[in-house]
Amino acid sequence: MSPPESTPAPEPAGILHVDMDAFFVSVELLDRPDLRGRPVIVGGAGTRGVVAAASYEARAFGVHSAMSSVQAQRLCPHAVFLNGRYDRYQAVSAEVMAIFTSFTPLVEPLSLDEAFLDVRGARRAHGTAAQIAAAIRARVLDEQGLTCSVGVAPTKFVAKLASEAAKPRASVTGPMPGIGVKVVEPDQVLGFLHPLPATALWGVGPATMTKLERLGISTVGDLAALPVEVVVRSLGKANGRHLHELANGIDERRVEPDRKAKSIGHEETYAHDVHDPAVLDAELVRFADAVASRLRAHGVGGRTVSIKVRFPDFRTITRAASMPTPTDAGRDLVREARALLAQLDLGAGVRLLGLSVSGLSEEPARQLSFDDAPGPSAAVPARVVDTDRVVDEIRGRFGADAIGPATLLRGSDAGLRVKRQGAQQWGPDQPRPEPGPSPDPSADPSARRATDPGVDRAAGSGGADPDPPGSGR
Ligand code: DCP
Ligand code: MG
């Protein structure tokens, strides 16, 4: 009889690399839907201009980022050149990163349009890494009207290569959609990596490639098969070892989250416009609870609570109120958010509801509510803190839905029903159900600027609708 297998099964892939498709161009197309399907280039059109981003239609002509605009114009004379609007890309990027952070606090942004996520701790609450990837794509599409490609793998660098494999492709007959999500499980890593050209490895530029070619190496598999000493002799100790490890699928680098989050929030788009105030209130409670949990997971509290409402006609408004001290307690957030929502006329129905907290700082203080006030000593707030910690611990072990505020459990299951109708309504590759205007994020980032930390209640409750001009409606 053979002895029992001693090696434990490797942990399933849990690192995501998310990269927006044709990012700058796709953001511009939100405001210029008439240009969809045409070769579009964002960059400087002048003689010294450079291409920042090219639509997949333009890429079919050989146009790519960092190419001179003169050359791009030569390759694709009918391309439409647009000036870049960095502020706009930054604002959309913040919204997209906030979606990532709603799945895991372990988000490492690499640039405006890409990030690594470590979702190993989020699987119990959100499903497998592949399901999380699909859910992220669906939410980015629904809330921002943009597509992204996701690689799922056990390590950062394989995840990055996998997202590349999931991308759309340019072709002369028009862009070919990508697979959207590419999953590389641990036992598939070497099969995925080894046929790739060695230049696919991080750190292999032209100079290194020349040295590798002298060793007869062209693919990652060739490099992996060489004894490490040979590679070290040619490339030096640090670089040689590192590349040899990568070629063998080894990459110990952890996802380093951006500790300087500006705001933490949660929002959902509903499949059907919500008219019932009781449902909206239950949603606020649920969002506040989720956001407070994430504040505590980050070890921060926030002072400014913002709500966001998008109406059926895509008009989007935000309102903000600041508290005297930062908090990480769900009920503080609910109290502020309720007061803000009460000032709005919701008669038209609500397409999207959101709640976020900014003005983040460490060491949140608890605001005493009447429930706490009669306590005989200062020990009462400490007990409140402990309750929240217990909630966090139960969620950590059993998932985000394991425990929640009583409001969500009373009466009907309105909150849950709405949730199921929410953001996960479409699979990542399904067409949008309505041909109407794209969700218009231009309304949100500009409006949100008015709710930055420091804005007080008076500033947030003005009657003017901050929906900016040119929002495409
Ligand atoms: N960018 C830039 N200059 C470069 C490369 C990129 O200004 N040399 C900007 C424009 C891109 C954005 O960064 O839209 C993201 O870069 P990507 O390499 O991810 O390229 P895209 O998102 O445009 O396309 P895709 O990721 O679909 O290949
Ligand atoms: Mg990109």
> Residue 214 maps to which CATH number?
1.10.150.20
Query: Are residue 408 and residue 454 in the same domain, yes or no?
Result: yes
User: Is 100 a domain residue?
Assistant: no
Residue having the nearest C-alpha atom to atom 3 of ligand 1: 52
Residue having the nearest C-alpha atom to atom 6 of ligand 1: 52
Q: Look at residues 454, 452, 449, 451 and name the one whose alpha carbon lies nearest to residue 324.
A: 454
The CA-CA-CA angle for residues 154, 65, 79, to 5°, reads 130
Q: Of the candidates 67, 86, 105, which is a domain's last residue?
A: 86
Query: Are residue 239 and residue 388 in the same domain, yes or no?
Result: no
Q: Of the candidates 204, 219, 247, which is a domain's last residue?
A: 247
Helix axes 277-298, 330-342, angle to 10 degrees: 140
The number of beta carbons lying within 10 Å of the beta carbon of residue 387 is 10
* Contact predicate 265/355, CB 8 Å: yes
Q: What is each CA distance from 396 to 126, 285, 406, in whole angstroms?
A: 12, 20, 19
Ligand 1, pocket-test mutation among 51, 64, 65, most atoms within 8 A of CB: 65
CA–CA gap between residue 340 and residue 457 (Å, rounded): 9
User: Is 172 a domain residue?
Assistant: no
Which neighbouring-strand residues pair with 360? 302
Q: Of the candidates 213, 247, 281, which is a domain's last residue?
A: 247
Terminal-to-terminal C-alpha distance of the chain: 73
Between the CA of 19 and the centroid of ligand 2 the distance, in Å, is 5
Residue having the nearest C-alpha atom to atom 24 of ligand 1: 22
Ligand 2 ion: nearby residues, β-carbon < 5 Å:
19-20, 23, 113
Number of domains composing the chain: 3
Q: Which residues are catalytic?
A: 114
pLDDT digits 0-9 by tens, 324-371? 889 999 999 999 999 999 999 999 999 999 999 988 887 665 544 443
Query: Are residue 282 and residue 381 in the same domain, yes or no?
Result: yes
Query: Are residue 417 and residue 287 in the same domain, yes or no?
Result: yes
Query: Are residue 224 and residue 324 in the same domain, yes or no?
Result: no
Check residue 78 and give its pLDDT.
96
Between the CA of 114 and the centroid of ligand 1 the distance, in Å, is 9
Residue having the nearest C-alpha atom to atom 23 of ligand 1: 22
DSSP string, 28-92: HHHH-GGGTTS-EEEE--STT-BEEEE-HHHHTTT--TTSBHHHHHHH-TTPEEE---HHHHHHH
Ligand 1 near 28 CB (within 6 A): no
Q: In what order do the strands lie in the sheet with 51-54?
A: 51-54, 40-43, 80-82
Query: Which ligand 1 atom sits nearest the alpha carbon of residue 24?
Result: 14
Ligand 1, pocket-test mutation among 20, 26, 57, most atoms within 8 A of CB: 20
Residue 338, domain CATH: 3.30.1490.100
User: Is 429 a domain residue?
Assistant: yes
Residue by residue, pLDDT tens for the chain (473 residues) are 555 556 777 889 999 999 999 999 999 999 999 999 999 999 987 777 889 999 999 999 999 998 999 999 999 999 999 998 888 898 899 999 999 999 999 999 988 899 999 999 998 889 999 999 999 999 999 999 999 999 999 999 999 999 999 999 999 999 999 999 999 999 999 999 999 999 999 888 888 999 999 999 999 999 999 999 999 999 999 889 999 999 999 999 999 886 566 788 888 878 799 999 999 999 999 999 999 988 888 788 899 999 999 998 878 888 888 888 899 999 999 999 999 999 999 999 999 999 999 888 876 655 444 433 333 343 334 444 556 666 676 666 665 556 666 555 443 333 333 332 332 211 222 222 322 333 333 333 222 222 222 222 222 222 222 333 333 32
Token pair of 398, please? 């059993």
| H/E stretch holding 414 | helix 414-421
Ligand 1 near 113 CB (within 6 A): yes
Check residue 315 and give its pLDDT.
83
- For strands 114-118 and 107-111, give the pairing: antiparallel
Q: For 102, list phi and psi in degrees, rounded to 5.
A: -75, -10
Ligand 1, pocket-test mutation among 88, 113, 169, most atoms within 8 A of CB: 113
Check residue 307 and give its pLDDT.
95
User: Is 115 a domain residue?
Assistant: no
Which neighbouring-strand residues pair with 305? 321, 357
Query: Which ligand 1 atom sits nearest the alpha carbon of residue 25?
Result: 14
> What is the span of the domain harbouring residue 57?
23-86
Check residue 42 and give its pLDDT.
95
User: Is 330 a domain residue?
Assistant: yes
Query: Are residue 272 and residue 334 in the same domain, yes or no?
Result: yes
Beta-carbon contacts of 285 under 8 Å, excluding residues fewer than 6 positions away, are 330, 334, 405, 407, 408, 415
Between the CA of 20 and the centroid of ligand 2 the distance, in Å, is 4
* Contact predicate 304/279, CB 8 Å: no
